[in-house]
Structures are given as C-alpha cells and as structure tokens.
Amino acid sequence: MRQPTRGAQPPAAAALPIIERLIATIDAENLDLEQGRRVKYEVYSLNKNQGLLELSRLLPALAGAAAAGPLRDALAELHAKLEINRRALAVQLKACEAVSEIITRAIQDGQSDGTYTALAWSRSHE
C-alpha cells in the first residue's frame, strides 16, 4: 500500500483554497457588474478557468470527501455564486446584443436610400 508523501495535503484540504480563490474572483466580478464598473472580463475569465482547471484535477481524489463537511459547504457556496455570476453575465450579454442590433439597424438605415423598403413599395402602388 502506498503511503502519502510527507507534507502532502488531503484532497479536501487542497481543494478549499482553490474554491476560496474562485469565490473571491466571482464575488469581485459580480460586484463590478452590479455597480456598473468596467469589468475586466479577460482577467476574470482567466482566473475562473485556472481555478476550475485546478479543481477538476482534484476531482478524482475528492470522490468520497465531497459528501461531508467544509468541502461540501464550500462547493455549495461556489455553486450558488456561479449561478449568480451566470445570471449577471447573461444580462450583460443580452444588453450587448440589444445595443448591437440598434447599431446594426442604424448603419443599415443610414446606408439605404429607401429603394427597397416597404414604405417605398407601398407608395409606388397607391
């Protein structure tokens, strides 16, 4: 039977700091979104991706540990924060799409001379 190496942390103990960093990153991003500040999407995305990669590497070792204690609580908190983050980002994306549609429509209207619009067609058939 293989003995753990000296100084090696149990998987649950190794996962908690990763989860705490993820929560801090998500809280910071959510606060920026909530307060209407400029959001550093690239930085937040890199930090979240790194944390989730680290956490996914620990998953096989966490199989039994996730069922109880502080790890379960931390994972539940992370899940809740991620859901809030997902919703906030969805609102931002929807707003960006709406602005993009307005700009696209304004460009198209500005480039059109009205020849192919429904209004021009109805006037020609009166």
Q: What is the pLDDT of residues 81-123, one digit of tens each?
A: 999 999 999 999 999 999 999 999 888 877 776 666 666 555 5
Where along the chain do its domains lie? 11-113
Residue 44 contacts residue 29 (beta carbons within 8 Å): yes
pLDDT at 1: 45
CA dihedral (11, 13, 17, 20) positive or negative: positive
Residue 66 DSSP code: G
17 Cα distance to chain centroid: 20
Q: Does residue 10 register a pLDDT over 90?
A: no
